[in-house]
Amino acid sequence: MLKMTHLSKAYRTEVVETYALRDFSILVKEGEFVAVTGPSGSGKTTFLTIAGLLEEFTGGEYQLDGANVRGLNDNQRSRLRNEKIGFIFQAFNLIADLNVQDNIDVPLRYRGFNGAERRRRIQDALSRVGLSARARHYPAELSGGQQQRVAIARALAGSPRLLLADEPTGNLDTQMARGVLDLLEELHRDGATIVMVTHDPELALRAQREVHIVDGQVVDLAAQPRMVAAAHAGA
């Protein structure tokens, strides 16, 4: 599903060149739930933005769902992002002007679905996250947990091949975080491929597999897959 090989990302100024990712390789198979961990500044978010086609990389190769993304133009990247990737952000990133259903409608509009199809997908997604009754509420009227579930519904509505989550519980209290994680696990059980960036080791234990990044490089690629049950037992 997601394959990066010897990928690098450098930020250049006139005097200095800084590598956020260096010789970075990762393989995420279809249906996997992978946690990407690492200290602040290790390159986790850079990995996520490159994986999400929000940023270009400097060197190496990146294949998303079998397609090589190097050299794609803005239109092609946007279409690929819209069709194959669902984003879940730490800060939810709902659009304040739009109510819940209109927020979920955003990626569907860019996809070009007709009105009936969009309505069906919005209802399905809301029902999946248990917020059907909140369709006409605005983000400011919802709790943090509810907002994150709306963001998940928005990510799911387009039936993406890959869910990218950036610290999805970082802005939530423990109880709400648990609810969101339960939802992610449920999605995974239903077959979704999830890559979750987190700096929280306990959260990482809920994933099938953990990839640890330090200074822009994967340092624990050989980590053993862990069962969710084990994670629960550890917690």
Partner 1 sequence: MFSYYVNLALRSLRRNVVLTALMIAAIGVGIGASMTTLTVFRAMSGDPIPQKSHQLFAVQIGNWDPQNRRDYGREPDGLQPQLTYMDSMALMKSHAAARQTAMYVGGFALTPSNPELRPFQIQSRAAYTDFFPMFQVPFRYGAPWAAADDENHADVVVLSAELNDKVFGGANSVGKTLNLDGHDYRVVGVMEHWSPTPKFYDLNNNQFGKAEELYLPFTRAIDAQMPSWGNYNCSGDIGEPGWEGRLRSECVWFQYWAELPSAESAARYRSFLMNYASDLQRAGRFRWLPRTSLRDVREWMDYQQVVTNSARILVLVSFSFLFVCLLNAMGLMLAKIMGRAADIGVRRALGANRYAIFSQCLIEAGVIGLAGGLLGLVLTALGLWGLRVLLSEEVGRLTHMSVTDISIAVALSLTAALLAGLYPTWRAGQVQPAWQLKAQ
Q: Distance between CA atoms of 55 and 77, rounded to whole angstroms?
A: 10
Q: Does 52 bind partner 1 (CB under 8 A)?
A: yes
Cβ atoms 84, 78 nearer than 8 A: no
- The site that binds partner 1 (CB under 8 A) totals a number of residues, namely 29
107 binds partner 1 (CB under 8 A): yes
Write down the least CB distance from residue 102 to partner 1, Å.
9
DSSP 121-190: HHHHHHHHHT-GGGTT--GGGS-HHHHHHHHHHHHHHT--SEEEEESTTTTS-HHHHHHHHHHHHHHHHT
Kindly identify the residues of this chain, within the stretch 140-169, that bind partner 1 according to CB under 8 A.
154, 158, 166
CB of 154 to partner 1, least distance (A): 7
56 or 185: whose CB is closer to partner 1?
A: 56
21, 28, 64, 82: which one binds partner 1 (CB under 8 A): 82
Q: How far apart are CA 200 and CA 36, in angstroms?
A: 10
CB atoms within 10 A of CB 82: 19
Q: Which stretch binds partner 1 (CB under 8 A): 33-41, 48-56, 59-67, 190-198?
A: 48-56
Binding region for partner 1 (CB under 8 A): 45, 49, 52, 54-55, 74-75, 78-79, 81-83, 87, 89-91, 93, 95-98, 106-107, 109-111, 154, 158, 166
